[in-house]
């Protein structure tokens, strides 16, 4: 499997960062989470004056064999139809990328359709969608490893383009199902608490989805390793996002984490390399039932809770102005000594 060499940020600059933050012209701690973010970003970049450059939203797309079991309210063809919508600029992620200055990259990880690559979709396809994991592994170990490699290559590409802050998004009808199983198997939270409405299932639909996923878990005969769980129950776009996240941490980039699916991707990434969490900022807590539970289990705090459940990277991009404000605070506020203001705390 591809090797990642991820190091936690050097702590030697921590005290200098704290001293700078505490001596800005404000009461100590008065800017709350902005101060926490400034410290984290300063540690990642190893500087008292961090910068955010050329933000990207990388959106991986793929289809899922488990959709055959009617676990999603949306039909499978929505995956490729939404990719077409992204190309034409008409989706939720498009207006947010335009508003906040993100470059949008669309990556085919494994969509079951003849996509127009010449129009700007990047072809990283590993197959025409995963297999139905109710009946066996969603993908082979070799396919899983290829997804990690190709996700890392996409991060290399945007890093070479000058990007140091990236959000990852996804498009894949049915992908809350593999996410729920990953959450269950990687945290020990009961499966019932991990299974939600996805794109809009009613109570009966959620119960059916739970029964299908429970049977899938009951039929699992793998070795229980993180890698095996990723392959047996994962989606191509999800594993590719993990590869992208791990490479971003290796390159000391800031990772903006989106909703339920991407949170479970960085959960899996952290089981392989715990150090990745030092580079992660959790943008949003969504409406999917298990999202708060997995965030709490990881002991991380999302910046926003807007009731979003769209995916695509939308929650992470919405949170970006807060991240930018933390950097501006550190770089643009004056300090007590220079401003000739007596410390008032």
| Cβ–Cβ < 8 Å for 62, 79 | yes
Rounded to 10°, the helix 176-187/260-272 angle is 40
Backbone angles phi, psi at 325, to 5 degrees: -60, -35
Contact of 236 with 109, CB cutoff 8 Å = yes
Given the DSSP bridges, would you call strands 280-282 and 165-171 parallel, antiparallel or unpaired?
A: unpaired
H-assigned helices in 173-313: 176-187, 191-194, 203-218, 226-233, 236-250, 260-272, 291-298
Catalytic site positions = 312
Cross-strand bridge partners of residue 255: 166, 280
Q: Which ranges of the chain does DSSP label H, i.e. alpha helix?
A: 14-22, 32-45, 78-87, 92-100, 141-160, 176-187, 191-194, 203-218, 226-233, 236-250, 260-272, 291-298, 314-332, 336-339
Do 338 and 24 touch, CB atoms closer than 8 A?
no
Please tell me the number of Cα atoms within 13 Å of 208 on its side-chain side: 14
Is 251 within 8 Å of 230 (Cβ atoms)? no
Residue 285 token pair = 């807590």
Q: Which residues of 170-196 are buried (b: 16+ CB within 10 A; e: fewer)?
A: bbbbbbbbbbbbbbbbbbebebeebbb
């Amino acid at each position: 499997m591809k090797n990642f060499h991820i190091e936690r940020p050097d702590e030697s600059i921590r005290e200098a960062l704290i001293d700078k933050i505490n001596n800005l012209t404000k009461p100590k701690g008065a800017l709350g989470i902005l101060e926490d973010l400034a410290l984290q970003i300063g540690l990642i970049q190893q500087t008292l004056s961090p910068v955010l450059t050329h933000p990207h939203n990388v959106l991986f797309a793929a289809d899922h064999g488990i959709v055959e079991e009617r676990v999603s309210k949306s039909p499978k063809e929505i995956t490729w139809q939404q990719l077409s919508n992204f190309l034409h600029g008409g989706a939720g992620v498009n207006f947010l990328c335009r508003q906040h200055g993100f470059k949008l990259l669309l990556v085919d990880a494994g969509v079951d359709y003849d996509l127009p690559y010449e129009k700007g979709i990047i072809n990283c396809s590993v197959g025409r969608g995963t297999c139905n994991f109710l009946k066996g592994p969603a993908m082979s170990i070799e396919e899983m490893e290829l997804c990690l490699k190709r996700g890392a290559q996409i991060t290399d590409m945007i890093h070479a383009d000058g990007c140091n802050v990236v959000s990852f998004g996804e498009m894949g009808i049915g992908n809350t199902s593999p996410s729920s199983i990953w959450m269950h198997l990687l945290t020990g939270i009961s499966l019932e608490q991990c299974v939600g409405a996805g794109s809009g299932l009613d109570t009966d639909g959620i119960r059916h989805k739970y029964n299908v996923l429970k049977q899938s878990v009951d039929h699992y005969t793998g070795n229980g390793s993180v890698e095996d769980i990723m392959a047996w129950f994962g989606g191509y776009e999800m594993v590719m996002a993990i590869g992208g996240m791990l490479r971003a941490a290796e390159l000391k980039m800031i990772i903006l984490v989106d909703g339920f699916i991407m949170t479970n991707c960085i959960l899996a990434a952290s089981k392989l390399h715990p150090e990745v969490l030092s580079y992660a900022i959790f943008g949003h807590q969504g409406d999917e039932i298990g999202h708060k539970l997995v965030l709490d289990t990881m002991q991380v705090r999302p910046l926003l809770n807007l009731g979003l459940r769209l995916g695509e990277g939308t929650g992470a991009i919405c949170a970006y102005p807060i991240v930018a404000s933390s950097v501006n605070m550190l770089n643009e506020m004056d300090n007590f000594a220079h401003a000739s203001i007596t410390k008032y705390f």
